[in-house]
Structure 1
Amino acid sequence: MRLFSNKRLLVVCSLAFLLLVVTACGNDSKETGESTDQDTKGSEVTVEGKKGEVTIPADVERIIAPYHEDALLALGVTPVAKWSIGKMVQDYLEPQLKDVPRIEWNLPQEQVLEQSPDLIVLGSDLASYEGSYEDYQKMAATYAMPEDVSNDWRKQIEVFGKMLGKEDKADEVLAAYDKKVADAKKKLSKTIGDETAAMIWVQGGKYYLFEKDRHSAPVVYDELGINVPPFVESMGKSQAAWNPISMEKLSELKADHVFLLALEGEQGIETLEKSDVWQSIPAAENDQVYIMNDPSFWTNKGLIASEKTIDALVDTLAK
């Protein structure tokens, strides 16, 4: 009987010891897991900007990036203020930014301070801002884009992804965009073949014909493979000053399809409709002139702007 009790005691003690070890291991695992979570939650990132290396704080939330909101929104990030010139904003982004306050395009320092940013993103043309780079640095971490980033919305998404810990998201949205381009290109090649298309921004009664590299034109010609009209080809590369084209010159536009980008009620549209010169171009003769009442995404560059341009082209030409 005593022997049985000793054995029983030994078993109980062994089980107790085993339970103690398992519990301790569980606690260690929990503590290790918590430590790992903290390590991966967010950390500072250093990126190379136009003015040298910039350290971006972990988990930034209040971002000002005037005229580069497209790239932020593509990554699922809403800025604390949006680019504007007076009351003019980027209309195509308003569904996501309608409740976001405006900030003037040249970033007045008082307006920046009002938003208490923890990251300020500037374009490459630093002379266009009211304050100096050093002025903005005193308010928050400030990144000035090198020209190659400022001029390439894909690079903007990649850089923003790195700065904000959203590199996977950046890869995801860029891959989805490339698929969208491939699908649209296939549809358009079947419906319009080797026909040409041109875009004209109609504003204030004047006509601005897109060169093959201005605003959304690279999406149309380079990515979707739509042919460039000979007259547009002859214009060469776009210049900083975008000058209107005369009605007489427009008569040389032998394009099969023409997109007129104009706000509703724009007087220049009525002028074209009454012009014998305009009515003689191939697109007008064949009833292939299309009025687009939201010029904002056509006259911009960005992932969202490009997607909207593709949708408009497919909806219009790939019927």
Structure 2
Amino acid sequence: MMQWGKTKLKGKMTVLAPLALAIIIVLAGCGSPGGTEANTEANTEANTGATEEAAVTSASPSAAEEPAAEEQEAETRVLKDEFGEVTIPAHPKRVAAIYLEDYLKALDVTPIVQWYHPLWGTQEYLGLDSPTFDITGNIEVLLEMEPDLIILDGWADKTKYDLFSKIAPTYRLPESILLDSKAILTTVADVMNMKEQGDNVISAYEQKIADAKDKLKTALGDESVAVIRLNVDESTFALFGVNNRFIGSIYSELGLTPNTWSKEMKEFQVVLTEESLPDLDADHIIILPSNGTWDSPENQEAMKLLDSNMWKAVPAVKAGHVHRVERSFWQSGGITANFMKIDDILKMFVK
């Protein structure tokens, strides 16, 4: 999904030449890399208390400078991300976590914007009121939101990373953790300087997995599961593999048995031909639409596939073991989404 957004976003990058110049001018006027609001406040205090400050500076210059240096050091941290070291605020207040809003939600942090794509909308399951940020549009709009920290997912290459870095300190997740929701949560919590909160979320998540895993083993035994997406624009079916970023956790963490094709797949997903459908050997099928909801008018034409003879010949369909789920959180690998998927799966299989 992110690849389409990535392609469209590249077409907008040329606007940032004047943006970079504008930022340089603003920084030069501020006289320091700190926030504009903080500098204004500092200047106001300096003007109203000029006499007292002059006396302190005259009496002991080193004493006046030392607290400022200590304060500046306490306000920032240096972390290593995918592209090197980055200096970030020690306690960020205005955070834009592009396509990582799920993890901020888990930490009880409200992002200043939420990811949006014209084709797929927002991550509705999060229920955020934050303004939308169109990832296919102009990233310059982030300037108006005045972020003090930007966190990026794997869709951001070095070029995008450098562009976002012109707006605010930017942390890009390491490539090595992108398929592991727990590792992402731990990393985001560290970047936010919220390690304790992150540990609490992980603890609750692992407990939920352990409880669900025992119940599912009793309910399903070795019965196999396939997750399929109905691609409504192309009127095709896509089968998700065990390595899929969105749903791989239901196999690796919950212990569900993948059907043969999903287990053997190296790809994240493959499009199934109609002719191959009757050979799908899953005992249970979980199915979601690629866009919108099952009731969306624009999806009704594609849903005719569910009335086709080929679909009706699938063993799980004939057995009545097809479970419809909503796209929003099933097409997310975030930890909040995973909590919700576990609830869905328990409702499906544990009576």
TM-score bracket, shorter-length normalisation: 0.7 to 0.9
Please state whether the residue corresponding to 1:180 is helix, strand or coil. helix
CA distance in 1, matches of 2:207, 2:175: 27
From 56, 61, 68, the equivalent of 2:88 is: 56
CA contact (8 A) 1:215 1:298 kept: no
From 70, 73, 86, the equivalent of 2:105 is: 73
Corresponding position: 1:123 with 2:121:
no
Corresponding position: 1:250 with 2:277:
yes
Matches within 5 A, 1:141-152: 141-152=169-180
Query: How far apart are residue 61 of structure 1 and its match?
Result: 1.0
CA distance in 2, matches of 1:133, 1:214: 25
Corresponding position: 1:291 with 2:324:
yes
**Map of 1:110 onto structure 2:** 140
CA distance in 2, matches of 1:223, 1:168: 23
CA contact (8 A) 1:216 1:309 kept: no
Please state whether the residue corresponding to 1:264 is helix, strand or coil. coil
Corresponding position: 1:238 with 2:267:
yes
Query: How far apart are residue 106 of structure 1 and its match?
Result: 4.8
Corresponding position: 1:261 with 2:292:
no
Q: What residue ranges of structure 2 are gaps of 5+ in the alignment? A: 1-69
CA contact (8 A) 2:247 2:333 kept: no
TM-score of the pair, normalised by structure 1? 0.78
From 240, 244, 248, the equivalent of 1:210 is: 240
**Map of 2:18 onto structure 1:** none
Q: Give the aligned CA root-mean-square deviation in angstroms.
A: 2.3
Change (3 A) 1:132 1:202: closer
**Map of 1:183 onto structure 2:** 211
Change (3 A) 1:312 1:132: closer
Q: After superposition, give the CA deviation of every residue in 1:167-221 in whole Å (9 maximum; x if it has no partner).
A: 0111110011011011111111111111011111113122111111113332221
Please state whether the residue corresponding to 2:279 is helix, strand or coil. coil
Q: What residue ranges of structure 1 are gaps of 5+ in the alignment? A: 1-37
* Equivalent AA in structure 2 for residue 120 of structure 1: I
**Map of 1:101 onto structure 2:** 131
**Percent of aligned pairs with the same amino acid:** 32
* Equivalent AA in structure 2 for residue 203 of structure 1: N
Matches within 5 A, 1:3-42: none
CA distance in 1, matches of 2:348, 2:266: 27
Q: After superposition, give the CA deviation of every residue in 1:97-136 in whole Å (9 maximum; x if it has no partner).
A: 1x211102257232111111100112244349xx743333
CA distance in 1, matches of 2:102, 2:157: 22
Please state whether the residue corresponding to 2:285 is helix, strand or coil. strand
